[in-house]
Amino acid sequence: MPPQANCALPAGFLLDQYRIDRQLSLGGFSIVYLAHDEAGTPVAIKEYLPNSLALRKDGEIVPQVTEEHQAAFRYGMKCFFEEGRSLAKLMHPNVVRVLNFFRANGTVYMVMQFERGRTLHDFIQKHRGEIREAFIRTVFARMLNGLREVHAHKLLHLDIKPSNIYLRTDGTPVLLDFGASRQTLMNDQPILKPMYTPGFASPEQYDRRDQLGPWSDIYSVGASLYTSVVGSAPPRADERVKQDTLQPLAKTQSDRFSPQLLELIDWCLKLDPFARPQSVYTLQKALVRKSEVETVPHTPWFTDLGSKLKAFIGRG
């Protein structure tokens, strides 16, 4: 039976100090709105509203949650609120800025800075087969500045994919839509359906959650790099564990991209969490090196990057 569809808050609705303009996106876990604050500044507001637990019909404001789902809904709401609290502490040009978070209408809202531009997913779809290696390296090296900051705060993103990498109008990338609360929800409440994104979620997100770490986000970065090169996502990790049909990019895309970049992507997509780069810094060093290497996992070719790496790290 397909999950129920929730109705968005109506245009013009006054939510705390924000006036709803329109719905931006609707997912299985939340609804995102464009709104304006009292000064007329545009903001994006994410509303916690998992459609497997709650139902809001047309004309209603407070979602209906059955007694059966009350505990799971409240637990998820708590996780969502804590996610907002954690993200509000992050101030980095490559991570979405959380401005406010509050409870209302029986649920929780996260207010974020509104960014103008388009997603990397949209860019890939429009320029499929035309994306240059220099673009890929620059976008991901800068995005990884933000991910390093996330990991430095003992947080994981857990939902990195091209549709959650936003390219501002000036071309700089920003990480959106963290999946931490939904992942915690999924882990502690088995009645909920998984909320990860097939093709981009690491294998440990399916059934080895004790092995989650920075390397889990790095798998998702590798899958996003793969998509930038190929134009489509790699096979989903849980299927790869059973029978790995993923062809190494170093064999299939060598006519368009350098062996070093392709081997790096293949390295990130290793099924064994501890066979991947273990830190964003390691991955970033590899990305900013443009000359060819014969093998990825060895470290000597990482040691001569000083000035190049500094040129990327710290730039928004």
Average pLDDT over residues 138-160: 92
Residues 109 and 153 reside in one and the same domain: no
Query: Cα–Cα distance between 290 and 134 in angstroms, integer?
Result: 9
Residues 6+ apart with CB under 8 A from 302: 282, 285, 286, 289
Check: CB of residue 54 under 8 Å from CB of residue 46.
Answer: no
CATH number of the domain at 126, please: 1.10.510.10
pLDDT digits (tens, 9 = 90+) for 53-86: 999 999 999 999 999 999 989 988 888 888 888 8
Residues 30 and 93 reside in one and the same domain: yes
Asked which of 92, 113, 134 is the last residue of a domain, the reply is 113
Q: How would residue 292 be classed by pLDDT, with cut points 50, 70 and 90?
A: very low
Q: How would residue 51 be classed by pLDDT, with cut points 50, 70 and 90?
A: confident
Asked which of 81, 113, 145 is the last residue of a domain, the reply is 113
Residues 91 and 164 reside in one and the same domain: no
Going from the C-alpha of 43 to that of each of 175, 247, 311, the distances in angstroms are 16, 42, 31
Average pLDDT over residues 222-237: 96
Residues 99 and 61 reside in one and the same domain: yes
Does 179 have pLDDT greater than 80?
Answer: no
Query: Cα–Cα distance between 277 and 284 in angstroms, integer?
Result: 10
User: For the chain, what is the domain count?
Assistant: 2
Q: How would residue 308 be classed by pLDDT, with cut points 50, 70 and 90?
A: very low
pLDDT digits (tens, 9 = 90+) for 236-271: 999 999 999 999 998 899 899 999 999 999 999 999
Average pLDDT, rounded, for the chain: 85
Query: Cα–Cα distance between 313 and 146 in angstroms, integer?
Result: 10
Residues 193 and 289 reside in one and the same domain: yes
What is the share, in percent, of the chain residues with pLDDT greater than 90? 66
C-alpha 103 chain-centroid distance = 24
Query: Cα–Cα distance between 108 and 83 in angstroms, integer?
Result: 11
Tell me if 2 is assigned to some domain.
no
Asked which of 84, 113, 142 is the last residue of a domain, the reply is 113
Residues 48 and 183 reside in one and the same domain: no
Query: Quick one: tokens of 271?
Result: 């099924």
* pLDDT score at 185: 42
What is the share, in percent, of the chain residues with pLDDT greater than 70? 85
DSSP state of 196: S
CATH number of the domain at 65, please: 3.30.200.20
Tell me if 221 is assigned to some domain.
yes
Tell me if 12 is assigned to some domain.
no
Query: Quick one: tokens of 45?
Result: 């507001």
Residues 129 and 223 reside in one and the same domain: yes
Residue recorded with tokens 């990480």: 175
Average pLDDT over residues 280-303: 61
Tell me if 130 is assigned to some domain.
yes
Query: Quick one: tokens of 266?
Result: 């293949």
> Strands 98-104 and 64-65, how do they pair?
unpaired
Residues 178 and 301 reside in one and the same domain: yes
Query: Quick one: tokens of 226?
Result: 């793969």
Residues 96 and 128 reside in one and the same domain: no
Half-sphere exposure of 261 (CA within 13 A, CB side): 24
Does 3 have pLDDT greater than 70?
Answer: no
Q: How would residue 300 be classed by pLDDT, with cut points 50, 70 and 90?
A: very low
Residues 98 and 144 reside in one and the same domain: no
* pLDDT score at 273: 96
DSSP state of 297: S
Supply angle C-alpha 144, 145, 150, rounded to 5. 85
Tell me if 8 is assigned to some domain.
no
Coil vs helix vs strand at 221: helix
- Give the domain range for residue 63: 21-113
* pLDDT score at 219: 97
Tell me if 303 is assigned to some domain.
yes
Residues 129 and 93 reside in one and the same domain: no
DSSP state of 193: P
The DSSP annotation for 119-172 comes to EHHHHHHHTTTT--HHHHHHHHHHHHHHHHHHHHTT-------GGGEEEETTS-
Average pLDDT over residues 99-126: 95
Tell me if 162 is assigned to some domain.
yes
Single pTM value for the model: 0.83
The dihedral sign for the CA sequence 203, 208, 210, 211: negative
Residues 177 and 290 reside in one and the same domain: yes
- With 0-12 / 13-18 / 19 or more C-beta atoms within 10 angstroms meaning exposed / middle / buried, residue 235 is middle
Average pLDDT over residues 211-215: 91
